[in-house]
């Protein structure tokens, strides 16, 4: 059984559809505007960054896109990471395991791929909190493109507010990803 720290209430789902930053359809343009380090959340985002020659400093994948398995060629192309770890995180939750691995991946000197058993979508929120100033979190906006979220005070305040309205222990979740 996973140590679930936060769970997404149905009333917050609509608000999460509002992007945390600019939407890009061109990977080169996104990379031109991105800060450092880059944290990628999602298989397709990670795939596009790797294909463009930029292995993210930290990437979270679950081998699914829009609730379906990703193509084998996408999974095969996601590589080049210094280390790969498997973590459990059921859908619509954030577990202590995922939050701790996220923090460790950001603190690592090399690149890290977290292969999530479950769902990685909500990891965008703690990633924005955990990332250093100047970093970028990139995630997919279904049927629109890739969102480039800057890790600035405004984004952190918005993310903290979202986490605090989730069911569970927001204080613990924030503590697990804080440096």
Task: Specify binding-site residues for GTP.
Answer: 43, 45, 62, 120, 143
Nearest to 170 by CA among 20, 7, 9, 17: 7
What are the CA-CA distances from residue 147 to residues 22, 29, 136 (Å)? 5, 12, 10
> H helices within 57-139, ranges in order?
72-77, 96-107, 124-130
> How many whole angstroms separate alpha carbon 138 and alpha carbon 133?
15
Could you tell me if 23 and 144 are in contact, meaning their C-beta atoms sit under 8 angstroms apart? yes
Query: Is the Cβ–Cβ distance between 64 and 85 less than 8 Å?
Result: no
For residue 37, is the peptide bond before it cis, meaning its omega torsion is within 30 degrees of 0? yes
- Residues in binding site: 43, 45, 62, 120, 143
């Amino acid at each position: 059984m996973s140590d679930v720290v936060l769970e997404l209430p149905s009333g917050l789902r609509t608000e999460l559809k509002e992007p945390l930053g600019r939407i890009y359809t061109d990977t080169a343009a996104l990379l031109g505007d991105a800060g450092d380090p880059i944290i990628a959340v999602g298989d397709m985002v990670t795939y596009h960054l790797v294909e463009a020659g930029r292995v993210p400093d930290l990437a979270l994948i679950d081998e699914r896109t829009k609730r379906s398995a990703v193509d084998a060629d996408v999974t095969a192309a996601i590589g080049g990471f210094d280390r790969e770890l498997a973590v459990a995180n059921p859908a619509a939750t954030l577990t202590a395991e995922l939050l701790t691995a996220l923090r460790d991946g950001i603190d690592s000197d090399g690149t890290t791929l977290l292969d999530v058993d479950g769902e990685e979508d909500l990891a965008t929120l703690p990633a924005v909190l955990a990332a250093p100033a100047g970093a970028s979190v990139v995630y997919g906006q279904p049927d629109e493109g890739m969102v480039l979220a800057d890790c600035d005070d405004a984004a952190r305040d918005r993310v903290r507010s979202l986490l605090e309205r989730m069911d569970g222990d927001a204080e613990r979740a924030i503590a697990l990803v804080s440096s």
